[in-house]
Amino acid sequence: MTSSTDTEITLGTGKLLFLFFFLVGICSLFFALGYSLGRKSDTGIITASAASTPQTSTSATKPAGGDSPQQPPMSFYKSVEQKEASTELTESATKTAPADALATGVSQPAPNTPEAAAPATGGYFVQVAAVSKQDDAEALVDALKKKQYPAFVASGSGTDKLFRVQLGPFADVKDAETQRTRLISDGYNPILKK
């Protein structure tokens, strides 16, 4: 029979240090490459937004070339705001809103009035998003109102500074669940709150 011998490979301290620093060098090279590419793409966004800011001049001349200024990059909620509401929802809302107001004798508050911004507490709410910028929250509320959702912005508590975009209040959990399902079909990820 043939005997098999196992061989053991050992690396000295010098070879292990060389291998370690070689791997650290490769990792730092890729980090530096990614960092520089990220900085270049970030400055492209900054220069585009700086170029789109209006500059005041004393003369009333048109810009050379007649090009319109570039738009600053939009946030996610600003782009959602620009999507059009479906015509079915708009038509049915315009047909039923005046009839409902006449039947109940109560007119709905205007969107910018304090009554619309601070609905009654209690009941069930459907939260669409919690964002840190009030402009994003208001843009999302406007987009949801165009789609006939009863949306409003709930300010954050003292511990956090988030603006919560919510629908409601709903007296029945089934009504809130119906709105939540409708939001999911429109591409949102809402949660139900009491």
**CA gap 122, 91 in Å, rounded:** 31
CATH of the domain at 83: 3.30.70.1070
| Phi, psi at 186, each rounded to 5° | -85, 0
Provide the whole-model pTM: 0.41
Name the strand (E) or helix (H) holding 67.
none
**CA gap 168, 123 in Å, rounded:** 8
Q: Is residue 24 part of a domain?
A: no
**CA gap 163, 128 in Å, rounded:** 11
For 77, counting Cβ atoms within 10 Å of its Cβ (0-12 exposed, 13-18 middle, 19+ buried), the class is: buried
Query: Consecutive 10-residue runs of the chain (194 residues): their mean pLDDT?
Result: 78 92 96 89 57 49 51 58 49 46 44 44 86 91 92 80 89 91 92 88
Q: Is residue 10 part of a domain?
A: no
Q: Is residue 142 part of a domain?
A: yes
Residue range(s) defining the domain that contains residue 148: 76-193
pLDDT, tens digit (0-9, with 9 covering 90-100), for 50-69 = 555 555 444 444 445 445 55
The whole-number pLDDT of residue 107 equals: 42
| Total tally of structural domains belonging to the chain | 1
